[in-house]
Amino acid sequence: MAAGMAGANWGGVRDRYLDPVNLADPTKPLAGQPGKAMKNYRQELAGWLKTRYGQEDRKAGRGEPRLL
């Protein structure tokens, strides 16, 4: 993830911090887990969006917030 002349890489932010697949294993050092994040912010973002905009957008049949 980098910001440069073209701006922030929002796809990289989304992939790293909102995709549960990229959650680091807490039993291993983060340095040995490139591309992983110590925390996933999916639920926090969903809560903020609900509070801010008053509605939830759910993926069909799965009950998961559809964020991006």
- Ordered by start, the domain boundaries in the chain are 10-53
At residue 7, the pLDDT reads 84
pTM above 0.85, yes or no: no
Query: Which residue has tokens 């440069």?
Result: 4
**Amino acid identity at 63:** G
At residue 50, the pLDDT reads 87
The residues of the chain scoring below 70 in pLDDT are 1-5, 55-68
